Amino acid sequence: MAESTYTVTGMTCSHCVASVTEEVSQIPGVTGVDVDLPTGAVKVTSAAPVDEADVRAAVEEAGYALAG
């Protein structure tokens, strides 16, 4: 099992959290997504390491951006 944490910018409400969670959850191999709204931290749990480009694309599809 792999775990990675990313910082997402632009989230302001629970709808934002739901959108990011839904998009990131659709990445093949992802088994869990935990979003902390106040900090923007998104913890992704997966069967195998997930490519950051896939996470970035999912976050952008939700309408937000990865910091950095």
Q: Where are the domains of the chain?
A: 2-66
Residue 68 has pLDDT above 90, yes or no: no
Residue corresponding to tokens 């302001």: 12
| pLDDT tens track for 21-40 | 999 999 999 999 999 999 99
DSSP labels, 7-23: EEES--SHHHHHHHHHH
Q: pTM of the entire structure? A: 0.94
- Cβ(46)–Cβ(1) under 8 Å? yes
The CA distance from 53 to 25, in Å, is 14
Contact 64, 10 (CB under 8 A): yes
Please state the rounded mean pLDDT for residues 42-58. Answer: 97
Nearest to 54 by CA among 46, 15, 11, 12: 46
Architecture of domain 2-66: 2-Layer Sandwich (3.30)
The reported pLDDT for the residue numbered 25 is 98
